[in-house]
Chains A and B, each alone.
Chain A
Amino acid sequence: MLENYLPILIFIVVALAVGVVVVSLGFVLGPHRPDAEKCSVYECGFEAFEDSRMKFDVRYYLVAILFIIFDLEIAFLFPWAVVLGKIGMAGFIAMFIFLAILVIGFIYEWKKGALEWE
Chain B
Amino acid sequence: MLNLWNSFSQDWPTLATLILILLKIVVIMLPLMVLVAYYTYAERKIIGYMQVRIGPNRVGFFGRHAFGLGQPLADAFKLMFKEIVIPTKANRVLFVIAPMLSLGPALAAWAVFPFNEGMALADINAGLLYLLAMTSVGVYGVIIAGWASNSKYALLGAMRSAAQIVSYEIAMGFALVGVLVAAGSLNLSDIVRAQSGSLLHWYWLPLLPLFLIYFISGVAETNRAPFDVAEGESEIVAGFHVDYSGMTFAAFFLGEYANMILVSALTALMFMGGWLSPFQGTPLEPFFAWVPGFVWLVAKTFFFMYLFLWFRATFPRYRYDQIMRLGWKVFIPITIVWILVVGLAVVYQLPWWFD
A residues near B (Cβ < 8 Å) are 2-8, 10-12, 14-16, 18-20, 22-23, 25-27, 29-34, 36, 38-44, 48, 52-54, 56-57, 60, 63-64, 66-67, 70-71, 74, 77-78, 81-85, 88-89, 92, 95-96, 99, 103, 106, 110, 115-118
Among the listed A7, A19, A42, A88, which residue makes an inter-chain contact with B121, where contact means beta carbons less than 8 Å apart?
Answer: A7
Tell me the bound Cα distance from A64 to B270 in angstroms: 28
Among the listed B151, B169, B247, which residue makes an inter-chain contact with A43, where contact means beta carbons less than 8 Å apart?
Answer: B151
Instruction: Given A5-B124, A82-B186, decide whether A54 and B152 contact each other with a Cβ distance below 8 A.
Output: yes
Instruction: Given A11-B111, A30-B247, decide whether A71 and B170 contact each other with a Cβ distance below 8 A.
Output: yes
Instruction: Given A63-B167, A115-B324, decide whether A18 and B29 contact each other with a Cβ distance below 8 A.
Output: yes
User: Closest residue to A99 on the B side, CB-wise?
Assistant: B336
B residues near A (Cβ < 8 Å) are 4, 7-8, 11, 13, 18, 21-22, 24-25, 28-29, 33, 79-89, 96, 99-101, 103-108, 110-112, 121-124, 129-130, 147, 150-156, 159, 162-163, 166-167, 169-170, 173-174, 176-178, 180-181, 184-186, 237, 242-243, 246-248, 250-251, 254, 320-321, 324-325, 328-329, 332, 336, 339-340, 343-344, 346-347
Contact yes or no, B250 A26, CB < 8 A: yes
Among the listed B80, B85, B320, which residue makes an inter-chain contact with A117, where contact means beta carbons less than 8 Å apart?
Answer: B320
Tell me the bound Cα distance from A43 to B157 in angstroms: 13
Residues of B within 8 A of A10 (CB): 18, 21-22, 25
Among the listed B28, B162, B178, B325, which residue makes an inter-chain contact with A115, where contact means beta carbons less than 8 Å apart?
Answer: B325
User: Closest residue to B11 on the A side, CB-wise?
Assistant: A3
Tell me the bound Cα distance from A117 to B229 in angstroms: 14
Contact yes or no, B84 A74, CB < 8 A: no
Residues of B within 8 A of A84 (CB): 181, 184, 343, 346-347
Tell me the bound Cα distance from A56 to B112 in angstroms: 38
Tell me the bound Cα distance from A115 to B332 in angstroms: 12
Contact yes or no, A26 B180, CB < 8 A: no
Tell me the bound Cα distance from A89 to B344 in angstroms: 8
Tell me the bound Cα distance from A84 to B123 in angstroms: 23
- Nearest CB of chain A from residue B317's CB, rounded to whole Å: 15
User: Closest residue to B165 on the A side, CB-wise?
Assistant: A67
Chain A facing B: main interface SS: helix
Contact yes or no, B340 A99, CB < 8 A: yes
- Nearest CB of chain A from residue B64's CB, rounded to whole Å: 26
- Nearest CB of chain B from residue A118's CB, rounded to whole Å: 4
Contact yes or no, B248 A23, CB < 8 A: yes
Instruction: Given A11-B108, A26-B247, decide whether A78 and B85 contact each other with a Cβ distance below 8 A.
Output: no
Residues of B within 8 A of A39 (CB): 85-88
- Nearest CB of chain B from residue A67's CB, rounded to whole Å: 4
